[in-house]
Chains A and B, each alone.
Chain A
């Protein structure tokens, strides 16, 4: 699913946010990405989501090189990924339903199909009754669940979440994480960046730890064919 080979990311001011990172997440695997603030977690996810490009090394998504991908293919690659942000990134001038339906609208699904899938996704995050509500009227936890519903509504192969529980209390955090585990159990690959260590320990999934841009701990299998 995801392969990083000696990936280095140097931002425009010269700061190296990732240094020689190697990792491999297989199809259907789930892992947590941890590390202090500024360790490079978001940068790693952004490279997978084609928001940033690696400066050196190879980043592959389903064997597609994310560095050399042409600009007009980017939208189609992104449709294979569901992304969840800490700050939800919802559109506040549209209803919950319209927010969740957005990935399907973009991909040109018919309305009946959109309605069916959107309700299914809302059902999964426990918000079926709120489809006509405006996101601003909902709590932080509920808004995050809208974000999750939107990320999974088009059945992506890979879910990326960047500190999805950052602003939530422990009970809500656990609920949100459980939703990701549920998706993993039906075959979706999941990579969640989080620094909620106690919650991560409880869930007993492989952990990747970044420290100052370097990967200091890797529970996943070493990448195939890697030479140092």
Chain B
């Protein structure tokens, strides 16, 4: 009737089995913690929703910024550089230069405007026709319009401008960059603002998850005491709580992703129309796969970290009495 019990060395599981059992236990706690979440749906849904909403703000801003940035990139590539050539450059040389520049890297195309055609169009458009006729010679230089490649960012354009300016034939290379600079500065500020918002909201998520796990620890006080008395290590007791935090973070991340995608759907109609109005070829974007992975990974890690703080603070204080 009695089980074979002996006071000699007991048949403990051997090392390889222990390692396997260790991984199995990790898997079990992972699934068990998900099960806990499943069996306490109200609190879990509340927590996950709060985390999701909290995270949706910085991620929504991020997507917004991403679109603005794409739009500004589009604008910067629609800029052009006007090269006013030296007056003593003749038309053949100027035309040759224009063709040569068209083949340069970072240049989409060039347009050549001869001094004669420039004068002609000036005469027609300015209304100074009569007075221009009194001039003994044409005061306008040959002009080459250089259009940078679409993909060029502002540094590439700056470099291009400098290299064009240094050409011997070019008297003046002109790019109206002021408004672009302004736009990029605003973008830079917006990016930092998103950075700060992200940090603040990540901290909020940390607090939310920390508090949820703290309550979870309190609710399972008895269980913790009993398992400690039976010989559970702190690492063993910690594990399900850490995984619980991981799940909260991950599920919250998915919710925030859904919120942003839905928000995007809601505004994509008017945005599309705006796009048409400006005849921009811009495609609107949401999360890329990479963004999605980064969002979920960081929200899961936030959850893990938040629960880790709660566990470090509250779990080790619980000792059987």
Contact = CB atoms under 8 A, between A and B. Distances in A.
B21 A109 contact: yes
A189 B17 contact: no
A186 interface: yes
Interface stretch (B4-12, B61-69, B187-195): B4-12
Contacts of A51: 229, 319-321
A120 B3 CA distance: 7
B3 A106 contact: no
Interface stretch (B177-185, B230-238, B241-249, B301-309): B230-238
B227 A152 contact: no
A102 B227 contact: yes
B87 interface: no
B226 interface: yes
A183 B231 contact: no
Given A51-B320, A108-B22, A78 B7 contact: no
Given A157-B7, A186-B2, A187-B6, A78 B231 contact: yes
Given A89-B226, A91-B222, A106-B236, A152 B231 contact: no
Contacts of B234: 72, 75
B5 A78 contact: no
B227 A108 contact: no
Interface string B205-233: 00000000000000000110111111111
Nearest to A156: B5
Interface in B247-277: none
Contacts of B20: 110
B229 A110 contact: no
Given A51-B321, A110-B21, A186 B230 contact: no
B24 interface: yes
Interface in A112-156: 113, 120-121, 123-124, 150, 152, 155
Nearest to B2: A182
A108 B6 contact: no
Nearest to A103: B230
Contact of B3 (A90, A91, A103, A152): A152
B18 interface: yes
Given A108-B18, A110-B20, A113-B13, A186 B231 contact: no
Interface in A76-122: 76-79, 83, 89-91, 93, 102-103, 105-111, 113, 120-121
Given A91-B223, A108-B21, A109-B21, A187 B230 contact: no
Interface of B: 1-7, 10, 12-13, 17-18, 20-22, 24-25, 222-223, 225-234, 236, 319-321
13 contacts: A75-B228, A75-B232, A79-B230, A102-B227, A102-B230, A109-B13, A121-B3, A124-B1, A157-B7, A182-B2, A185-B2, A186-B6, A187-B7
Given A157-B7, A187-B5, 16 more contacts: A27-B7, A51-B321, A75-B232, A78-B230, A78-B231, A91-B223, A102-B227, A103-B231, A106-B232, A108-B22, A110-B20, A124-B2, A124-B3, A152-B3, A186-B5, A189-B7
Interface of A: 27-28, 49, 51, 72, 75-79, 83, 89-91, 93, 102-103, 105-111, 113, 120-121, 123-124, 150, 152, 155, 157, 182-183, 185-189
Closest 10 interchain pairs by CB? A79-B231, A78-B231, A108-B21, A182-B2, A106-B232, A75-B233, A75-B231, A157-B7, A186-B5, A103-B230
